[in-house]
Structures are given as structure tokens and as C-alpha cells.
Structure 1
Amino acid sequence: MSSDDPISPRDLSLTWSARVSLTPRILAVNIIALAMLAGGFFYLDSFRSRILDSRIAQASREARLIADAMAAVAPEERGALIMGYARDTGARLRLYTPEGRLIDDTRLRGSTNAILRDPDKDPWRQDVARFLDGAIDTIVGATRAPLFREKRNGLDWPDVTAALDPTVARASVWRAPDRTPVITAAARYDDGIVFTTANARDITTTVRTERFRLFVVLAIVSLLSILLSLFLARTIVRPLRRLARAAVRVRLGRAREVVVPRLPDRRDEIGLLARALSDMSGALRARIDATEAFAADVTHELKNPLASMRSAVDGLGRVKDPALQEQLLAVVRDDVHRLDRLITDISDASRLDAQLSRAKFESVDVGAMIAALIDGRHARGIERDIRLSFTPREDVPLSVYGEGARLERVFENLIDNAISFSSDTGIIALTATRADDMLVIRIEDEGPGVPEAERESIFRRFHSVRPASEAFGRHSGLGLAIARTIVEGHGGSIMVESREDRRSGAAFVVRLPLAGLD
């Protein structure tokens, strides 16, 4: 999309976030990213489930192996065998009859394997760890294993009951009072059932270690994210607020008091916005100054003919001489014509900027326009036998983009100005040349020329340096100001120079961008 394309309100509209400041929005975006990182806790639950599944399968295989070993040795050797397995695996082993009666137990033989911890005797750090375990399990929706309780009869254990079938070796997961997993498994041998119990604290320790590392990473990333968010909000929100306050003050009519920060060190979009607003406020201040100066000039210019008219009207009431009355009436008519001319030119000058901003430019053949203007002047007759000549170069394109009626007025004003300053039977020469991508039109007369000190001021409104022989009030002093406004509105320039041949006279030079060069 180019800078001139219209922007739809839908492109910039917001829904629910329209009432939220930028700072919480920036924080919210980063917090959402952190929340996605916090999803690692769900992965830890999956990680723990995979470890438990692996341990359950391992417990089933070990129970099957132990049962096969029990069947291969004599009954009197089984006690030593289960103690060896308890020592190697860290589990508690019990032997039951098919009726559920306890035959042997490594705990009774002095083994301290699989003794569950009393959470009430643990330090506070373990309480905190267990609280976090429960909170995270609730958040991630982890399945809660049943609480581990000792059974009097072996058949009260689901694993032992399932192991009555010699082809089945079953394992289960329980929850110890300190929230660590307890894994049980059972398998059948010739005349009994082997039952293993292991408190897998290492799984909880591993998960807590990984969770602590994730907490550390999440805390560091959260701190950095918040700091970066605040930094980003500071670099975006604060200058925007300063610009908004400055814009509000300009809107309240305090443009002259407001200094819009330009942020020259910033090369991003906010810097571009700041400089654009500063330039806009400067242009607005200049426009206000110009409007005030224009209003003052208008008041001054209108007062002169009004004062003259009032004096003439007052004199009509006192003068009885018809000749003097006719002179006073001539003054009134002249002042009325002058007022009419002033009001017309003032109206055109005041609306010119707005009209040019709304105008749709099209290709205009300036050569044909100037030729038509000169032909029309010759057809109507030119005072004092002044001659007009136009010499366009045939190899120079004379088309520009603009509004034909406005450009025609520029050259009418310049030709009128040249005629008023030309000597009798003088020649006004118009030429068209090309300088790079600009069309250059020169209007040279044979008059007295423009003093170098006046060459810029003659383009100011109501400023006029007229020939001594010209009657006062024939010109409003707006013609050249209107011409410059129109030319600059077309992206060109207008100035006055000395003639190139160094002869007496002035040369008005108009430069306009040629059409069809981009």
C-alpha cells in the first residue's frame, strides 16, 4: 500500500483491546509467551508418567524372575534368596500362600527397604515441595494414585489376587503419605506367590529437580521479559504520550507555546511520527501567522478606499458646485471599483490553498496555453503598441501536471505585470526551455526592472512596486502573490531576475515539473 492509498477504518480498528493501554498490552503479549514456556510443567507430568510406566514394567519382570528363582531352589534356601534380591533391588519382598497367608518377609528378617517416611517429621522444605507437587498435579490434571495402606491378608492386595493365575504377573502404583510413588508387583511360583514393594522416591526426586530447573529458567526469563517489556513500553509509550499531549495543546489553540519533540536520535517509526508532528505544528504555526498577517493586511487595504469614499461622500453633502460633485462621484466610483477588485482578489487568495489541495491535476500543454493567451491579447489589442512574442523550443516537451485554469491565471498575471512596466512599443518575450526535469518559462520585459532588494518582497501580499505613471489603486498587490501560491502548489517555483542580455528590464522565471518523466 502506498502512502497515498486510502486507509480503511477497519484496518486500524481494535475490538476489546481498544481501551487497554499499550504498556499492559506489551506485558500481556510477553506473559502469554511465558505461559507457553510454563507449559513445560505438563511435559514434566508426561515425563513422570513415562518413568512410572517403565518402572511398572520392570517391577513385573523382576517379580516374574524372582518367582522363577523361587521355584528353582529348595524351600529352605528361599529366605536367603529373597534377602539377596531385597539387597540388590532395594525392594521389600514377601511370600504368600495361595490362601493369602504370609510365609516370609524381608522386613521380619531385618531389611529396612521400602520403609515409608512420615511427612509430619520432614522439614518444612519437604512440605513446600509436596504442596507444589499437589498444586501442579491439580493444574495439569494428573491421575491421583490410591493411598498406600498395609493389608493383613495377602489376598487383599490386587496384585496378589491377580497372580493366582500362574500366567499373570501384575504391578500397581500407590501413593505414599509423603506423595512419593509406591510400586507393587506379584507373581506365582509352585506353591506360593512372591510380592514386591518398592518406594520409588528417586522418581519424585528427579521430577522435583527438573521442576526446580524449569522454575529457575522461568523466573529468569520472566524477569528479563518484564524488564524488556517495561523498556519497550518506556521507549514507545512515553514518547507517544508526550506527542499526544503536545497535539492536544496544539488543538486547544496553544500552537505558539507548544514545542513538539522531534526526537532526532530515533530512526524508527516513532521518530518519523515525532518529526512529522513537529513539522505539521510548525506549518500550522506558520499558517496561523500568515492568516493573522493576511487579516491585518486586508483590514489595512480595505480601510484606504473606505476612508477615501467616506471623505468623498461627506463632501457631497456640503459641496454645491456640480463640477466638484462630479469629481467626488468619480472618486466614489473609483473607490467602489477598487474595493470590488480588492474583494475579488482577496477572496481568490484566501481560498487558493484549499482549492489547490483538492484539485485533480491532469496533463496541461503550457505551450498551447501561452500561445492562446498571446493570440487573445493581440485580438483585443494591447495598449501602447506593446508586442508579445513566444518562442518555444520544438524539442522541449511543454506538458506539466496541473490545473489549467490556475496555471493560465499565473501567466495572465505575469503578462499583465510585464505590460504595465513595459515602455511604449516595447517587446515582451516569452521563452520555454528545459533544465533537467523542469520546464522553464521566462517572461522578459523592457521596463525599468526590479531592484535587487525588492525581488523577494514583490511576491508578498499587498506589496506592490508600481510605475510612477500608473494611476493609484489599479492593482490590488495580490497578483504576484497569487501567482507564486499557484506555482508552488504545482511543485514549482517563481522568481524575478535580470535579463540575460543585461539590457534594461525584468525577467520572471517560472519552473514547473515536466509531465511524464516518472
Structure 2
Amino acid sequence: MVEATPPDQEDAPLVWSARWSLTTRILAVNILAVALLAGGFFYLDTYRTRLVDTRIEVMEDQLAMLDSALEAARPDQRERLIGEFTRATESRLRFYDASGRKIDDSFAHAPPTYTLRDPDLQPWKRDVARAMDRGIDWVVGAPNYPEFEEPAVDRAAAWPEVVEAMKSGGEAARFRFAPERTPLLSATRVVDLEAPEVMLMTLNARDITRTVRAERFRLAVVLAMVLVVSVLLSLFLARTIVRPLRKLARAAVRVRLGRAREVVVPRLPSRRDEIGTLARAVSDMTQALRERIDAGEHFAADVTHELKNPIASVRSAIEGLGRVKTDEQRAQLLAIADEDVRRLDRLVTDISDASRIDAQLSRTLFEPIDIGLMIESMLASRAARANAGTPHPRIAFARPRKGTATVMGDGHRLERAIDNVIDNALSFSPAGGLVCIAATRLGDEVHIRVDDDGPGIPEAQREAIFRRFHSARPDEEAFGRHSGLGLAIARTIVEGHGGTIAAGDREDGKPGASLLITLPAADEGRAGG
């Protein structure tokens, strides 16, 4: 019983990519790697968030230091300290009292340290940059920060962070986008000078935008280069993989259609990879298929030729039955027709066997066969069927020791092959002659030799005798007794068992022919099991 084996993982069916061409799959895999690299834009959004958080923390620390400096300074030094602070930090300071009224503004005592630019007055390149910023923010899912507008009435209520600081008595901060889409950061601190006040520090952090845009540009350049290289590599792989496969597919289609008698399947000898192996395998398979088709055509032609003679003879005998006058002539014609029908029967039987052997051997489960016992049994059956009154050649068998000449095979087919070889030897041996049979094991092979006392086989004919319908019979043999397929069937069976059969001269130097069958010997473990 043959055990079922699990399917090879390489043969697992494709599911989601079954309808994709190889070129599409190669491009998809390489572009997927580029897409993973594009994930760096997500990192840059996190990077910008960290920069903003760090800048707000610095602003809060700066407000704490300013609070300490204002507490220690005299009232007449307050304006100078605020001016120096805003110039150093490039920020704007506003102060609101407990009622929410603005009581001081650094821009009222000194030139502005930053200016909110009008996007409509900037060049188109800035519009493109802002559009790209919005697109990338949308792709990475960045928070939708509010747009900053300078309040028409500058009171504490216009600043949510100031209101929050007044309520909590602590610190608060906000991130907004300036009109030109640069970060406008704000931080607050409650101070208690002569009366409780809230400091509001605002800062237009254009450097953060410049830094993030520079990093995005570098990443975009790298991404574009990687994308170009990936596409070129994909096209290169498609050229080196897909194109030869297409050539093989087109050649296979031409072979299937049969429109060209000699279809050249590219062997790709310069390739040493799997595709080269596939190309050479397909080429060899096509050549073997062509040879098999040619052999089939020749076989069909030979069958037609061999069947015509007995059919014509039967037809002539049947036509002659109506013209003969005597019973003796009628009996003679019936005997001829009977002999031709028997000949046809032998031909059809041998032709049927010859055409089915290959397919049957491919499906047969081989088992250990003791060649010595098998030949001994064959000869015993042949002796029982022999006609004692008819002279015929004698048979001598040098039987090997039991179990030494064992092969793996189909016993019925091997018996048929050896029987055909013995029949051939008997047909060429004269009455009273001797056919010698020997079976021995030499190393990893079992040799079966059949020698006859016939005229021998000319060296030029030693390969031709194994062809189908080859006919070179003794002169005294009745016509049509053999179909000419015996040795061809024997060769097919022997080669189906991984062996060889060849014709030559006898080793003892006597006249006659010697046919040698060589079969692989069975392993001792398998033969004994």
C-alpha cells in the first residue's frame, strides 16, 4: 500500500495574488518596501510634535526666569527687562490684570520681534510648500491645529490659555498655525507683582517649520531615489525572469498547436538558475514528446503495413471460395483463412501489449522477484506444454542460488520479457540444438543471458532486432508465425525496470547469438522484507 504524502509547500495555491502577473508582483513587492520607507513621514510628524513640546517647555522656563527677574528688579527697570527678554527670545509679551484687561505689551515699547506674514503676498513656491505640508499632515493623520488670528479686541477672554491660567493659577500653552502655516506657540504664567497678573508669551517658531521641511525634503529625495532604483530593479527582474518564461510559454503553445514540425524551445544555456533548469527541462521534455509522437506515427504506419498482408490474404481466400469447384480446394482456402486469422490475432494481441506496456509499468508497484525461481517456473510450464512428438531445441538453465538474483519489478511483465527472448532463441536454434540460460548477480546488477545455436546476429543488425516489426526469420520457419514485436516488447519491459538488453556473440566462442538482460539488483533489506 502506498502511503499518502503531504502536499509540498511549494505547490500551495496562491490566493490573493493568483491573477497578478509576475511583473506586477515584482513591482508590488519592491514598491511595498518603498512604502515602508515612506513611513518616515510619520516619524517626522512625531519629531515636529517633540520640537513643539520642547519649545513650549523652554518658553515656560523662560517665563519663570523672567518672573524671578521682575520680582527682584525695581519698577523703573521692568520695561528694560521685558525689552531685553523679548529681543533675546524673539517673542512678544502681554500682561493682563485680574479683570482681563491688557495692561502691557512688549510691542508697544519696542519694534516687533516677529511679523506674521500674509500668504497672499508671498511667492508661489511658498504656496506649494504649504500645500505639501497640508497633504503630508493629512496622510500621517496629524492633529488639526487651529489657525491663529490676532484678536480684534485684545483682552484676556480672547486667549483661552490666559483664561485657563487665571482659573487654575498655573501654566497653560497652545499651538496654533500662523497665516503662513508656521507654528505660533503661546505660554502663560501667573505673576504677583503689585497685583496678580498673567503673562502671555507668544512666539512664531518658523525655525521648526524650516527644520521639518528640510528633513521631509531629504526623506523625499531618498524616497524618490529608492523608488527609481526599485522600479529599475523590478524592470530588470521582469526582464530576466518574465521574458524567458514568456518565450518558454510561447514555445509550449506552438508545440501544443503543432503548427511547426520542429519547434525550437530555448534552452538558455547561459543561465544556471532555476529558470535555466526549467528551460532545459522543457526543451528535453519537448524533444522526448516529439520522439514519442514520431515513434507513435511510425508504429501506426508499421501496424497498418503488417495488418494489410493477412487481411489481403483472408480477402483472397474468401473471394476464392466462390470460384473453387472441389472440396479439397475449398478446405485448402479455409485453412489459409484460418492461419491468417490466427496471425491477425497474434498481431493484435502483441500490438495491444506493446502500446500499453509503458503506461502499465508507470502505475505498477514493484515487488521483490527471484529471477531464478521465476525462470525455473517458466521452463516447467513450457515443458508441460511441449508436444512430445515434435523435435525441438533443448533448454539448459544454470539456476543461481536462491535469493541471490533478486530484482524489484513486476513479475508478470518480467516473465513476458524473458519468455520472448527464450522464444526468439528457440526459433533460431535447429531441432536438437541447445539454448543455454544463465542468471547471475554481479555487484549491483542481475545478468540474464540467453544463448542459442542459431546462425548468430550480424553486428549491423544487433540494434535493429529490437525495433518493432523487424523481421529476419530463419528460412524454414512458416511465414507469419511471429509478429516481429517480441524483442521490442522485451526491451520496453526491461527499460521500464531500469535495465538494458543487448545482443552479441556467445562468450564461449561457439556459433550462435547471445542476448544479455541487465537489471538493477534489489537491496537485501527490501528483498528480504
Q: Could you state the TM-score of these two structures normalised by the residue count of structure 1? A: 0.93
Alignment of 1:227-246 (within 5 A): 227-246=232-251
The structure-2 alpha-carbon separation of the partners of 1:362 and 1:396, relative to structure 1 and needing over 3 Å to count, comes to closer
Change (3 A) 1:166 1:271: closer
Please state whether the residue corresponding to 2:503 is helix, strand or coil: strand
Pick the aligned partner of 1:510 from 506, 513, 517: 517
Contact 2:500 2:519 in 1 (8 A): yes
Matched, 1:477 2:479: no
Matches within 5 A, 1:362-401: 362-381=367-386, 384-394=391-401, 397-401=404-408
1:37-95 deviation per Cα after TM superposition (whole angstroms, max 9, x unaligned): 21111111111111111111111111121112111111110111111112222212233
| 1:107 match: secondary structure | helix
Q: Which residue of 1 aligns with 2:130?
A: 130
Deviation, 1:255, is: 6.2
Query: In the alignment, what sits opposite 2:192?
Result: 189
Which of these residues, 449, 459, 463, is aligned with residue 452 of structure 1?
A: 459
Q: What is the alpha-carbon distance in structure 1 between the residues aligned to residue 359 and residue 260 of structure 2?
A: 21
Given the alignment of the two structures, is residue 256 of structure 1 paired with residue 258 of structure 2, yes or no? no
Q: Which residue of 2 aligns with 1:159?
A: 161
Taking the aligned partners of 2:301 and 2:239, their CA distance within structure 1 comes to: 46
Do the aligned partners of residues 500 and 303 (structure 1) sit closer, same or farther apart at CA in structure 2, a change above 3 Å counting?
Answer: same
Partners of 1:6 and 1:374 lie apart in 2 by 45
Which residue of structure 2 lines up, in the alignment, with residue 315 of structure 1?
A: 320
Runs of 4+ in structure 1 deviating by more than 6 angstroms, as ranges, are none
Q: Which one-letter code corresponds to 1:195 in the other structure? A: L
Structure 2 SS opposite 1:169: coil
> 1:35 aligned to 2:74?
no
Shift of 1:396: 7.3
The amino acid of 2:352's aligned partner reads: S
CA contact (8 A) 1:182 1:200 kept: yes
Please say if residues 173 and 185 of structure 2, whose CA atoms lie closer than 8 Å, have aligned partners that are also in contact: yes
Q: Name the structure 1 match of 2:450.
A: 443
Cα distance 1:474–1:343, how it changes in 2: closer, same or farther (>3 A)? same
Correspondence for 1:224? 229
Aligned residue type for 1:491 = G
Residue 433 in structure 1 maps to residue 440 in structure 2: yes
2:217 is matched with 212
Counterpart of 1:341 (choices 346, 350, 358) is: 346
Segment of structure 1 superposing worse, 417-426 or 448-457: 417-426
Over the matched positions of the two proteins, sequence identity in percent amounts to 57
The 1:344–1:190 alpha-carbon spacing in structure 2 relative to 1, beyond 3 Å, is same
Partner of 2:70: 70
Distance between the aligned counterparts of 1:53 and 1:449, measured in 2? Answer: 105
Please say which of residues 386-395 and 463-472 is displaced more in the overlay.
Answer: 386-395
Aligned partner letter, 1:240: L
1:443 is aligned with what amino acid?
Answer: V
Contact kept, 8 Å, 2:393 with 2:435, in 1: the verdict is yes
Distance 1:434 1:9 in 2: 42
Letter in 1 for 2:465: I
**Alpha-carbon separation, structure 2, partners of 1:210 and 1:114:** 24
2:350 maps to amino acid: D
Determine if contact 2:156/2:163 at 8 Å carries over to the other structure: yes
Cα distance, 1:319 vs. partner?
2.8
Q: Which residue of 1 aligns with 2:55?
A: 55
The 2-side partners of 1:165 and 1:20 are apart by: 63
Q: 1:483 to 1:450 in 2, by over 3 A?
A: same
After superposing the two structures, state which structure 1 stretch, 373-382 or 117-126, moved more: 373-382
Which residue is 1:170 aligned to? 172
AA aligned to 2:145 is A
Q: For structure 2, which runs of at least 5 residues remain unmatched after alignment?
A: none
Shift of the alpha carbon at 1:167? Answer: 4.9
Q: Where in structure 2 are the equivalents of 1:256-275 lying within 5 Å?
A: 256-275=261-280
Measured at CA, do residues 267 and 10 of structure 1 come closer, stay the same or move farther in structure 2, by a change above 3 Å?
closer
Amino acid at match of 1:171: A
Q: Is the 8 A contact 1:92 1:113 kept in 2?
A: yes
Give the residue type in structure 1 aligned to 2:251: A
- Label 1:39 to 1:276 Cα distance change in 2 as closer, same or farther (>3 A): same
Change (3 A) 1:56 1:318: same
Q: Is the 8 A contact 1:63 1:169 kept in 2?
A: no
SS in 1 for 2:268: coil
Tell me how far 1:107 sits from its aligned partner: 2.1
Measured on the aligned residues, the alpha-carbon RMSD in Å equals 2.4
Partner SS for 1:461? coil
Structure 1 residues 159 and 65: alpha-carbon distance in aligned structure 2, compared to 1, 3 A threshold: farther
Provide TM-score, normalisation by structure 2: 0.91
Note the 1:261-340 alignment, pairs <5 A: 261-340=266-345
Q: Contact 2:93/2:105 (CA < 8 Å) preserved in 1?
A: yes
In 2, Cα distance between the equivalents of 1:174 and 1:114?
A: 15
> Is 2:471 the partner of 1:464?
yes
Structure 1 counterpart SS, 2:186? strand
> Alpha-carbon deviation of 1:301?
0.8
Match of 1:20 in 2: 20
Pair 1:163–1:311, CA change in 2 (3 A): closer
Which moved further from structure 2: 237-246 or 411-420? 237-246
SS at match of 2:431: coil
1:45 matched to 2:45? The reply is yes
**Aligned partners of 1:395, 1:298: CA distance in 2, in Å?**
42
Match of 1:140 in 2: 140
Mark the CA change 1:173 to 1:9 in structure 2 (over 3 Å): closer, same or farther: closer
In the aligned structure 2, how far is the partner of 1:452 from the partner of 1:198? Answer: 108
Please name the residue that 2:360 is paired with: 355
How far is 1:398 from its partner?
1.6
What is the deviation of 1:262? 1.9
1-structure distance, mates of 2:507, 2:262: 47
Query: Does structure 2 retain, via aligned residues, the 8 Å contact 1:463–1:477?
Result: yes
Cα deviation, residue 100, structure 1: 3.8
User: 1-side partners of 2:166 and 2:349: how far apart?
Assistant: 117
Give the secondary structure class of the aligned counterpart of 1:19: coil
SS in 2 for 1:196: strand
AA partner of residue 138 (structure 1): W
Tell me, yes or no, if the aligned pair for 2:102 and 2:156 is still in contact at 8 Å: no
Residues 364 and 410, structure 2, Cα contact 8 Å, conserved in 1: yes
Native 8 Å contact 1:66 1:194 kept in 2: no
Q: CA deviation at 1:218?
A: 0.9
Provide the residue aligned with 2:80 in structure 1: 80
> SS at the partner of 2:34?
helix
SS at match of 2:172: strand
Shift of 1:165: 6.7
Cα contact 1:438–1:513 (8 A) shared by 2: yes
Change in CA separation of 1:255 and 1:377 when aligned onto 2, cut-off 3 Å: farther
CA distance in 1, matches of 2:9, 2:313: 56
Inter-partner Cα distance in structure 2 for 1:193 and 1:310: 129
Separation in 2, partners of 1:302, 1:118: 104
Superposition deviation, residue 321 in structure 1:
3.9
Separation in structure 2 between the aligned mates of residue 261 and residue 41 of structure 1, nearest angstrom: 47
Pick closer, same or farther for the CA change 1:206–1:395 going to 2, 3 Å: farther
